[in-house]
Amino acid sequence: MKPFTTLTGIAAPLPKANVDTDQIIPARFLKTIARTGLGRHLFANFRYREDGSENPDFVLNQEPYRRAEILIAFENFGCGSSREHAPWALLDFGIRCVIAPDFADIFHNNCFKNGILPVKLPREICAQLMEDAKLGANARITVDLECQVVVRPNGEEIPFEVDPFRRHCLLNGLDDIGQTLQHKAAIDSYEARQRAAQPWLFGP
Amino acid sequence: MAATGPRTLFDKIWAHHVVETLPDGTALLYIDRHLVHEVTSPQAFEGLRAAGRRVRRPDATIAVVDHNIATDESRRTGITDPESRLQVETLEKNVAEFGVPYIPLLDDRQGIVHVIGPELGLSLPGMTIVCGDSHTSTHGALGALAFGIGTSEVEHVLATQTLLQKPAKNMRVRVERTLALGCTAKDIVLAIIGKIGTAGGTGHVIEYAGEAIRALDMAGRMTVCNMSIEAGARAGMVAPDETTFAYVKGRPHAPKGEAWERALAYWRSLPSDPGAPFDKEVVLDAAAIAPMVTWGTSPEDVLPITGTVPDPAEAPDEARRAQLQRMLDYMGLTPGQKLTDLKVDVVFIGSCTNSRIEDIRAAAAIARGRKVAEGVRAMVVPGSGLVKKQAEAEGLDRILKEAGFEWREAGCSMCLGMNPDKLTPGQRCASTSNRNFEGRQGPGGRTHLLSPAMAAAAALAGHLADVRDWQPAAGSAA
């Protein structure tokens, strides 16, 4: 996983609540066996018209937001299906940070596994950042995970909270499985105890 | 979570599965059962292969295909869509390479992963159960801690049989008194989501309790737990009781003999202790719940069938007004329209929410001796091959087919628009599934969520209908 330290980039405003993972990537694009190449299907039902052409009204089809690295939205972002294709599609498009008042649990988890930083900030601040983002290419927003601040184009710093363990993993690009396997002895002994106490949980 | 003193069902199952607690409070949580399907697993197996890792406990893992397969006869001659075929073949290659037990497409036991887990006794009380699918919350009906995970976590469980997790908060939803005629588990859960909203359970595990929940059969409890995720909850649970034990006993993978007695003794210790603290509590009166139907594009946008389409002009603020207007435009609705006046093009009875034998019986009871309205496509998709066989043994397929319903093969079907069963733009569907999101059942499709009996009534009427006006015809004993 690519570490996330500091990101300065163009932010795209998506002033919607309850952006579900079916919107982020519709199910018909989940028939893939790869993690990559999903960026072109990101928000497909909004980005493309029925004939397949681009919908110029959708923010990610407009300059400079085609190059957005940050997405700003409203409450309950990423609700619905557990599909990790949602963060994969965001990442493949180039988005490495989503800012919203809150996130659905599974999507929130999935972001951290893919080097995407979800930042929770109050609705008023998200609305303000959206206004900043509307200024376009000259209005770059910085997200600094080390210092835990979002920096507005005018230089104002907005602090945010993040789980320390997840922050550590993201800053260092750590692979969860490798870390967990360091606890192999504990897993082995838990399993041995359980096999004796609750043998019905173990197959032949 | 309480460290000492009375504990909740969730606290007990959680504590029992903590392998180790990391310094910051993150727990390494042991997983007893891992359900795997074709859509969210290929990249996980690929990750294992790339790192030279194996599946730690194939015996705790089971794989099945359900999401992207056809539900008609064409499945018998091979999968025609090349991408779907590749995904299914990839799963078959992976389960063979990693030694994971697998239920093939043409096996009678094949079906929706959340239907077959309980049905085969693979999901048991007290277990931790995960699957790369948000509706894994379904299995909580057995008194298990069951939740959906992403593909990275699927890989993590395959490799380590554990997950890194922070404990959730406890929430209790009590549904007191008894349901009125025509109301079901689906109406309960839609009423709950209408009350608490789609983020009402975020960060929490919901325990459903109260007289109306206790009175539900296991299928009904599964319907309620299934849609916990639509309330934003990590998981939903119902304390195991005699209804649970009677359901589990004798299932193919359930413990037997002495192991059964030991398991039973353990399961009886799981219900929340009296006085166990909940971070949040909500109470509903079951007797006040009417048959429910969603009108918008979020499951919280739900009303009794006697209601009318809301008017954006009455919204409390500009943001909500714009949101309502967008929903009305998408759904093709005008303010003040009676819900019972909405004509339907398609009726879908199926999905991990409502495709069990009890659901099919409920639909058949309403359909018996009647006909699907002209111009309506009505389909019934059993949740598993075993549900299908059971329904056929009871003659339910005949009742439904005579009424004009399609009787199909098991799978996720029209719940999610990734297999051949899809809505076309503008089509209005009465659906027993779980999500009415924009485009969920196909781009431009318009979904109204409701119970199986309500869906059957809509098929017969040709428009959304109050099932209380469509009770079983006199003399029918279905």
- Closest alpha carbon to B351 in B425, B440, B463, B244: B440
Q: Which residues of A touch B153 (CB under 8 A)?
A: 109, 113
Cis peptide before B104 (omega within 30 of 0): no
> If you average pLDDT over residues B50-79, what whole number do you get?
95
Q: Is A30–B418 a contact, with Cβ atoms under 8 angstroms apart? A: yes
Cα–Cα distances (Å) from A132 to A126, A136, B14, in that order, read 10, 8, 44
Q: Is B439–A26 a contact, with Cβ atoms under 8 angstroms apart? A: yes
What distance in Å separates the CA atoms of residue B85 and residue B88, rounded to the nearest whole number?
A: 5
What distance in Å separates the CA atoms of residue B256 and residue A64, rounded to the nearest whole number?
A: 64
Measured in angstroms, the CA of A171 and the nearest CA of chain B are apart by 16
Task: Check CB contact of A127 with chain B, cutoff 8 Å.
Answer: no
What's the complex ipTM?
Answer: 0.94
pTM of the model: 0.96
Residue B474 has pLDDT above 90, yes or no: no
Q: For B316-349, how does the pLDDT look when each residue is reduced to its tens digit (9 = 90+)?
A: 998 889 999 999 999 999 999 999 999 999 999 9
> If you average pLDDT over residues B361-371, what whole number do you get?
98
Please give the pLDDT value at position B477.
47
What pairs with residue B173 in β-bridges? B208, B282
pLDDT greater at residue B471 or residue A125: A125
What distance in Å separates the CA atoms of residue B72 and residue B96, rounded to the nearest whole number?
A: 27
What the block records as the tokens of A184 is 């192999």
Return contacts of B358-362, CB within 8 angstroms, 24+ apart: B358/B217, B358/B219, B358/B220, B359/B219, B359/B223, B359/B432, B359/B452, B360/B387, B360/B391, B360/B396, B360/B400, B360/B452, B361/B391, B361/B394, B361/B396, B361/B478, B362/B184, B362/B451, B362/B452, B362/B453, B362/B456
Q: Model confidence at B478, in pLDDT bands (50, 70, 90)?
A: very low
Q: Model confidence at B1, in pLDDT bands (50, 70, 90)?
A: low
Domains and CATH numbers, chain A: 6-173 (3.20.19.10)
What percent of chain B lies above the pLDDT cut of 70? 98
Q: For A96-144, how does the pLDDT look when each residue is reduced to its tens digit (9 = 90+)?
A: 999 999 999 999 999 999 999 999 999 999 999 999 999 977 789 999 9
Q: Which of A35, A76, A84 sits opposite B232 (nearest CB)?
A: A76
Q: Which residues of B touch A191 (CB under 8 A)?
A: 30, 161
Q: What is the average pLDDT score of chain B?
A: 96
Residue B2 has pLDDT above 60, yes or no: no
What the block records as the tokens of A39 is 């960026």
What distance in Å separates the CA atoms of residue A103 and residue A73, rounded to the nearest whole number?
A: 10
Beta-carbon neighbour count of residue B274 at 10 Å? Answer: 6
Of the CA atoms within 13 Å of residue A67, those in its CB half-sphere come to: 10
